[in-house]
Amino acid sequence: MKNQDIYILAIESSCDDTSAAVMRNDSVLSNVVATQKIHEEYGGVVPELASRAHQQHIVPVIHQALAKANIDKNQLSAIAFTRGPGLLGSLLVGTSFAKSLSLGLGIPLIEVNHMQAHILAHFIKDEKSGQPEFPFLAMTISGGHTQIVLVRDYFKMEILGETLDDAVGEAFDKTAKIIGLPYPGGPLVDALAQKGNPRAFPFPKPKVKGLDFSFSGLKTSILYFIQKQTAEQPDFIEQFKEDICASIQYTIVSILMDKLKKAVKQTGIKRVAIGGGVSANSGIREALQHAEKEKGWTTYIPKFEYCTDNAAMIGIVGFLKYREGAFTDQRVSAKARYNIPDQ
């Protein structure tokens, strides 16, 4: 096995993106993502529509991934897929297809934890970015999760803190909705924030013990603030939209960084990595780079294509598990709730 290349076909279908990738060992040969636009008119992901769209996209996406990689399916060593966490209907599409393809080709099947994959995406071979040394701290920030994880090894991880209610991506999208921005609102808040004053409107930061997070109170305080201001000045949002977004982003990033600084202090580990869709946010990236200079941290920020949901991150976990012989069987089922320690 050491002298032979390992080819992994990876499938990701945890939410509203259908993705397939082909890995040759730890290198990406292809990484195809089909994004579902239908949810925009509903202001959020509709689970039933998501699962139907996955059924439409999965065959052409996998075909395209194999074609781009110039790989025949008979060359594949294993099939890796997202078992969870995520929307159950969406996960079932990817899980069922992976099981069927594995059975048809007579090759091993590898289940992957989606959140673990966001962390291990840092180990995809890339000449321009370094890979973190163990142990390191990882902050996974997405639409469904906000966690600080102590990473001792590829498959030895401990959650030190997590959100008690809303995830950070959800906080971005819901506050964006409050000020009238279309879904998904997080990237739009980020774009507008770069033109505004981050200290224009101070919002309260929740007091949560330890390394846990809470964003529901912040969301409520922003709602009440907007309601009060628009009652007094109907065009308030339009007049101050950039400052509002900058203030929201500044507050959310401050909450994340306060907890991360606390985690570094508690553990003494100054190697910090981020992952998940919100790691594409310019505010958190700048804050990390600032902490690297000011506090002597070594920070690891993923390439944009590995931030949002994609199959390449599933593929790298598949490769690492293949080397360990960590295969699953046809009895495996999708799990909507799937914690990182449950490996």
List, for residues 137-163, the tens digit of each pLDDT value: 999 999 889 999 999 999 999 999 999
Residue with tokens 């959800």: 170
**Cβ-proximal residues to 286 (8 Å cutoff; 6+ apart), any chain:** none
Q: Give the model's pLDDT for residue 209.
A: 93
Say how far apart CA 164 and CA 154 lie, in whole Å.
26
Could you give the residue ranges of the DSSP H alpha helices within the chain?
47-69, 88-105, 114-120, 168-178, 186-193, 216-232, 236-267, 282-295, 311-324
In the chain, which stretches have pLDDT less than 70? 1-3, 42-43, 127, 341-343
pTM given for the model: 0.94
Q: Give the model's pLDDT for residue 213.
A: 96
Say how far apart CA 250 and CA 227 lie, in whole Å.
20
Q: How many CB atoms lie under 10 A from the CB of residue 248?
A: 28
Q: Give the model's pLDDT for residue 1.
A: 47
Q: Which residues pair with 233 in a beta bridge?
A: none
